Chains A and B, each alone.
Chain A
Amino acid sequence: DGGITQSPKYLFRKEGQNVTLSCEQNLNHDAMYWYRQDPGQGLRLIYYSQIVNDFQKGDIAEGYSVSREKKESFPLTVTSAQKNPTAFYLCASNAGGSDTQYFGPGTRLTVL
């Protein structure tokens, strides 16, 4: 099956810890994105990458970091500097030359 996978589905973190959320796609898409979703709100862009080994900050990048070492993988690290990390995190991708983004199933992060 082609698609975007995110793991884990649920993640619990203690304050002060860094955690890494996984995003993998086998769609051969060039661009990948990370969004944060809070209850009752739209999606906010954290980071995006249009090609391997390159990425840019989105609207709310503070307290987050990413890497793009492989085309199919775009992990997101939520650092201890992120003051309010509890949220639903969504990864998306799109093919080069296409506007349409496809989303993964999401990871729900809860800080205890």
Chain B
Amino acid sequence: GENVEQHPSTLSVQEGDSAVIKCTYSDSASNYFPWYKQELGKGPQLIIDIRSNVGEKKDQRIAVTLNKTAKHFSLHITETQPEDSAVYFCAAIPTYKYIFGTGTRLKVLA
């Protein structure tokens, strides 16, 4: 069935270093790939998204890359800061339904 695998489940980086989170999806009909950041006790907030006709998108320190052939997409955060510490979720959308990854807990160590 449809699923999205997300790795790693936890990630610790030193402040200022880069962080990379990877997702793999199964449904080749997926054409929209958002990334959400969820802080403790709050709802997920959209931080960046990409569509299937684009290979890469950047927004300041955040970038997302998509490899449709391999069905991989990744979130890249550069120059990490303590406020980047949160749980990050990827999702793939083949139709209306979101298929979420299981989340990555990112800890940025000061």
Residues of B bordering A, CB below 8 Å: 4, 6, 9, 32, 34, 36, 41-46, 49, 89, 93, 96-98, 100-103
The yes or no answer to A73 lying at the interface (CB within 8 A) is no
Taking a contact as CB atoms under 8 Å apart, the answer to whether B42 and A99 are in contact is no
Known contacts A90-B43, A105-B42: does B49 contact A100 (CB below 8 Å)? yes
A48–B32 alpha-carbon span in the complex (Å): 19
For residue A40, which residues in chain B have a CB less than 8 angstroms away from its CB?
9, 102-103
Q: In the complex, are the beta carbons of B101 and A42 less than 8 A apart?
A: yes
Complex Cα–Cα for A108 and B97 (A) = 23
* A106, B100: Cβ atoms closer than 8 Å: no
Whether A103 lies near B44 (C-beta < 8 A) is yes
Contact check: which of B41, B42, B89 meets A42 at CB < 8 Å?
Answer: B89
Residues of A within 8 A of B44 (CB): 43, 90, 103
